[in-house]
Structure 1
Amino acid sequence: MSTKIKVRGFHIDVYQHVNNGRYMEFLEEARWEFMGSSGFAQKIADLGLSMVVVNTNINYRRPAVLHDVLNVSVKVIRIGGKSAMFEQVVTRETDGEPEVVVDATVTFCVMDPVAEKAVPLEGEIRAILEEVAQ
Structure 2
Amino acid sequence: MINSVLIKVRGFHVDIFQHVNNARYLEFLEEGRWAFFDDFGSGTELMQQGIAWAVVNINIDFKSEANFGDVLAVQTHFSKLGNRSITMKQRIINTQNQNVVAEADVTYVCFSKELKAAVPLPDDYRQKIEAAIV
For normalisation by structure 1, the TM-score amounts to 0.90
Distance 1:85 1:68 in 2: 28
1:27 aligned residue (20, 26, 29): 29
Equivalent residues of 1:40, 1:128 under 8 A apart: no
CA RMSD of aligned residues (A): 1.6
Aligned with residue 67 of structure 2, among 65, 68, 82: 65
3-state SS in 2 of match to 1:40 = coil
Query: Matches of residues 86-125 of structure 1 in structure 2 within 5 Å?
Result: 86-95=88-97, 98-125=98-125
Distance in 2 separating the partners of 1:43 and 1:68: 37
Scaled by the length of structure 2, the TM-score of the pair is 0.90
Paired residues in the alignment total: 132
Q: Distance in 2 between matches of 1:30 and 1:110?
A: 19
CA contact (8 A) 2:7 2:28 kept: yes
Residue 84 of structure 1: aligned partner: 86
Gaps of 5+ in 2: none
Structure 1's 48 and 128: CA in aligned 2 closer, same or farther, altered over 3 A?
farther
Q: Percent same amino acid at aligned positions?
A: 38
Counterpart of 1:121 in 2: which secondary structure?
coil
